[in-house]
Amino acid sequence: MVRSRRNPVKEVTVDRSRHRTRLGAVHARQATGLRANSFAFWTSACVARVYAKPMREDRRQVFKLIGGLMLSSGAVSVGYYLVTREGAIDEWVAVGPVAELPVNEITMKRLSVTEHGLVTARPVEKVIWLRRMSDDTVQVLSGACPHNNCTANWIPEKEVFDCRCHNSVFAPSGAVLAGPSARAMDTLEQRIQSGVLAVRYQKFKKTIAAKEAVS
C-alpha cells in the first residue's frame, strides 16, 4: 500500500500593519500628486489672470489710440476740405476808362477780388481779357479756363487763347477750337458809366458744359 505524499501547505502570514503602511504610502503619493497638480493648475490660472489684465488694458489702449487717430484724421480731412474748398467770387470792380483801351486789340487786366470760402475769405488776383470794339463796346472774358481754372493766355501771333495746362484752345471770341474744355470761355457782365468800365467778376464751376456760378 502506497501512501500519497502531500505537499505540506505553508501558512502565509500577512503582516497587515505593513500592508496598510504600504497602501498608505501609495495613497499619500497619489494625494500629493493630485495636490501638486491642483496647485500647479491654480498657479497657472492666477498667472494667466495676472497677465491677461495688462493685455486687456493694452488692447483697450490700442483701440482708444486707433479711434483717436481715426477721429483726428477725419477732423483733419474736414478741416482741409473747409479751408481748400473752392470759394465763390462775385464782385464789381472798376477797370478804368474805355478810351484807354486800344480798338480791336485784346488786352489783359488783373483784378484784385475777394474769394469767399466756407470759413475763410482771402484776397486773390484774377485775369480778364478785354477787347474794345469800334463802337466802344467792350468784350470781357474771364481768364480762367473753364476746363480746370488754369489761366488761358492770349497768343497774338496765333490769334488764339491757349491754356497750357491741358491744351484747350479758344478763338478771340472765346469759342472752343480744341482741347478738353466743355464750354467756351466765360463772358463777364460789364457796364460803362461816364466812360469808365466796371466788370462783375464771378467764378464759374469748372469741367461742366453749363455756365454756373460757384456759390
SS3 171: coil
pLDDT at 40: 53
Tens of pLDDT along 124-155? Answer: 999 999 999 999 999 999 999 999 999 999 99
Please, which residues have CB within 8 angstroms of residue 6's CB and are 6 or more apart in sequence?
none
Q: Is there a single domain that holds both residue 99 and residue 193?
A: yes
Backbone angles phi, psi at 79, to 5 degrees: -60, -40
For the segment 159-178, the average pLDDT, to the nearest whole number, is: 97
Is the pLDDT confidence value at 22 over 50? yes
Is 211 inside a domain boundary? no
Is 168 inside a domain boundary? yes
Question: Residue 124 belongs to what domain range?
Answer: 90-202
Contact in structure between 93 and 197 (CB atoms under 8 Å): no
Tens of pLDDT along 173-214? Answer: 999 999 999 999 999 999 999 999 999 999 999 999 999 999
Q: Which residue has the higher pLDDT, 53 or 116?
A: 116
Grid coordinates given for 101: 483801351
Is 3 inside a domain boundary? no
Please, which residues have CB within 8 angstroms of residue 156's CB and are 6 or more apart in sequence?
106
Q: Is there a single domain that holds both residue 103 and residue 159?
A: yes
